[in-house]
Amino acid sequence: MRIMSLLLPAMLLAMPAAATDPAATAPGFDAALAERLGADERGMRKYVLVILKTGPQRVPDGPERDEMFAGHFANMQRLSEAGKLAVAGPFFKDPAGWRGLYVFAVDDIEEARALADTDPVVVKGEMVPEFHEWYGAAAMMLVPEWHERLVPPAEP
């Protein structure tokens, strides 16, 4: 018992100061990752959700439509690589005309609008964007990185 009474104070003095900070000791917490992803104290961040709806101008089938959609996909890739686009994808056939969505990692709707306006489907009127501020998991910023690991290389 005497040994324990001597060891206990020594063990308490040896504990790092960080152990009193719950965030620093949370299982699996990675402060550097949280900072890189823009996470707040809840592991969340602000985004702008964009719903792409059927627009007033359907581009007819053919080379112009093919080029427009090639530009649409290239634009999404560019925005993703720039760290502005966290998630994107189409909806299944929707009677309300919802065609797809973007989740932009930006501070406000004005910045999201400027990004959406670079998309050929928006420029040509094929789709119209609807903007909503949204608060979600900062981990969504990892989707593009992980998505790349799931897509096999294109065959030559």
Question: Residue 118 sits in a domain of what CATH number?
Answer: 3.30.70.1060
Burial class (CB in 10 A: 0-12, 13-18, 19+), 10: exposed
Is residue 113 domain-resident?
yes
Is residue 107 domain-resident?
yes
Question: Does the structure show a pLDDT above 70 at 24?
Answer: no
Element (H, E) at 80: helix 63-81
Element (H, E) at 87: strand 85-90
Q: What is the pLDDT of residue 21?
A: 53
Q: Using one digit for the tens of pLDDT, what is the confidence trace for 72-97?
A: 999 999 999 999 999 999 999 888 89
Boundaries of domain holding 98: 40-150
Q: Which residue has the higher pLDDT, 104 or 151?
A: 104
Cα separation, 125 vs 145, whole angstroms? 30
Which residues have C-beta within 8 Å of that of residue 113, sequence separation ≥ 6? 129, 131
Is residue 53 domain-resident?
yes
Q: What's the number of domains the chain is made of?
A: 1
